[in-house]
Structure 1
């Protein structure tokens, strides 16, 4: 499994976490795990969204052989589009 972590500054992290997993509701089940919203896709990807003080912490994991950078870019594009009025920017940590 390959994991990529990032942070998106926002005053409404819970809202964007809910909106993203709701948008992808058919991709896989969603659970609340230790304060994080976790979605496990039927295709093996895992999305973890942790609301923090003034930010949404994002973790994406893909099975070996999948393109983690591509999946991370899809997550980034969706979150930034949902928050375009706030000019949100998801920054991936290297």
Structure 2
């Protein structure tokens, strides 16, 4: 399966990464990686990595299909801030 990469422009990338991880914590394994990065594994085929950077949240998903799930959740969490996840190549 092809991994997809995307970016959300936001002044609160850590907040959205943490909120996503907390939302999925009961159904998945959440692992802290280097820095503030979080790896969320729903199954071996459904993994996302969230990397907060200055003014951006970098998102990696294990497949385009799981990427759609991640995108819907992150955009819903950030609806008030009108967040948009843009995948590379879109």
TM-score, normalising length: structure 1: 0.85
Structure 2, unaligned stretches of length 5 or more? none
Contact 1:37 1:50 in 2 (8 A): yes
For 1:81, the equivalent position in structure 2 comes to 76
Contact 1:27 1:42 in 2 (8 A): no
Runs of 4 or more off by more than 3 Å in structure 1?
A: none
Q: Aligned pairs, how many?
A: 88
Mapped to 2, the partners of 1:9 and 1:91 lie a distance apart of: 9
Mapped to 1, the partners of 2:64 and 2:16 lie a distance apart of: 21
For 1:28, the equivalent position in structure 2 comes to 28
CA shift for structure 1 position 43 = 4.8
- Cα 1:5–1:45, aligned 2, differ >3 Å: closer, same or farther? same
Structure 1, unaligned stretches of length 5 or more? 62-67
Moved more, 22-31 or 81-90: 22-31
- Cα RMSD of the aligned pairs, angstroms, is 1.3
For 2:45, the equivalent position in structure 1 comes to 44
